[in-house]
Chain A
């Protein structure tokens, strides 16, 4: 697949590092990963988008779905992204008001609800 996913624990957060392209074909893989994490009891997620080369509305839908899932457990889903071409998509869709977006994993982990 054109998508890479790695996860690691940072305290009570799980960091998901995404690489490659998130589109209609690869987004299900990210969706599965987020579902698995929440099912396994990980409710505070940081999704690192710095290695994402492409993101479409299917990818946005998967991220929103993940946000809904963690919120059902009083959790959080934060994004790390400094790439303008990806930030633009969140802006156009108004999702910058929905997702906390940080410029580094350290920032995301340090943020308080």
Chain B
């Protein structure tokens, strides 16, 4: 049973709403200060991704967020109503591609296919991530969260991104491990 649940219309303006709520709930959960910034960013990335997915496939469907404060962990799940596998950048072994691999910015290399033209405008302007691959949000989450699980939504609809931070026993560091 989640501690707090939130449903919000698939609007970019309410990603911040979800972020504010996650901040408040994590504070109540006693999550250390260092992890709070990571939680804010990870929840933002997951919610922004869910908004994009819902707007594309199920614009009337809300994004569903559940936050659970457990004795040893803090978990946030974000569920969308898109197609399974939307905006997941699979790595060679099925895992997520690292952010650094998604950002192929060496001057001498040819622009990766996902790099949009600087002048792109029009109907996709709202979804324009500035030429970033959609999978970057998830790759960023991987760098911020202790455990990430991506699974099919209930009734096979959409995707659930579950992010878990292990909460303090004395001596456990929350500094991200260099990867």
Contacts and interface: CB of A to CB of B under 8 A. Distances in A.
Interface residues of B, number: 30
Interface stretch (A11-19, A43-51, A62-70, A74-82): A62-70
B118 interface: yes
Contacts of A56: 41, 44-45, 48, 137
B130 interface: yes
Contacts, number: 88
Given A57-B137, A61-B132, A88-B176, A93 B100 contact: yes
Nearest to B99: A93
A111 interface: no
B102 to A, nearest CB: 8
Interface stretch (B11-19, B78-86, B149-157): B11-19
A27 to B, nearest CB: 7
A109 interface: no
A5 interface: no
Contacts of B137: 56-57
Interface residues of A, number: 31
A57 B137 CA distance: 6
Interface of A: 2, 21, 23-25, 27-28, 31, 35, 54, 56-58, 60-65, 68-69, 72, 85, 88-89, 92-95, 97-98
22 contacts: A2-B16, A23-B44, A24-B48, A24-B51, A28-B125, A57-B48, A57-B129, A58-B129, A60-B132, A61-B129, A62-B130, A64-B130, A65-B118, A88-B37, A88-B176, A89-B41, A92-B99, A92-B143, A93-B99, A93-B103, A93-B143, A94-B99
